[in-house]
Amino acid sequence: MRLVVALTGASGQIYGIRVLEELAKRDVETHVIVSKAARITLEAEGYSISDVEKLSSYFYSDDELAAPISSGSFRHDGMIVAPCSIKTASSIACGIADNLVTRAADVTLKERRKLLLLVRETPLHTGHLRTLLTLSELGAIIMPPVPAFYIKPKSVDEIVTHTVARALSFFDIEVESKRWEGLKV
């Protein structure tokens, strides 16, 4: 399996890191892009570019518009943007492919591959909601990382893992995590 993974400037870099950790455990080939804003947020949240590079099969900066993943002829099984800033989501929705993150996402949509966006923004105004609707209409999967408290998490780590497990399940990748089993009444 081969996935494109992008980290953008929103808070919640742990989501992208955890996605890469889980994919590395499964020998999934990853093509990773880190936006300029994500580089700043990674540092602010206690990570470094080298942390991301170590977890990547292939690593690109967002100005590498000639990278293989910028073309529809590059075959992959989908793309995850985690976290996805509203700026990135807006650019993708409008087809503004002016960096490698948005170009790779645009190509993913045009080739009818899975594009999953862990959109990190709150509250959402009407323009944000219209953007997310447009993305959904284009075929993207919109998945804000909303915690599931029915799993009775005991740590932030459990919350992050559960969200990442749900995200990766869209690509038929199983990550061990608590699941809803219904109510016993």
Binding positions for dimethylallyl phosphate are 150, 166
Q: Are 18 and 166 spatial neighbours (Cβ–Cβ below 8 Å)?
A: no
Q: Please report, in range form, the residues annotated as the binding site.
A: 9-11, 35, 85-88, 120, 150, 166
**Cα 52 from Cα 7, distance rounded (Å):** 9
Q: Are 20 and 44 spatial neighbours (Cβ–Cβ below 8 Å)?
A: no
- Please state the three-class secondary structure of 137-159 as a single string: HHCCEECCCCCCHHHCCCCHHHH
Q: Are 26 and 102 spatial neighbours (Cβ–Cβ below 8 Å)?
A: no
Classify 58 as helix, strand or coil: strand
Structure token digits, residue 119: 């959109």
Burial bucket for residue 158 (CB in 10 Å: 0-12, 13-18, 19+): middle
**Cα 165 from Cα 155, distance rounded (Å):** 16
Q: Please report, in range form, the residues annotated as the binding site for FMN.
A: 9-11, 35, 85-88, 120
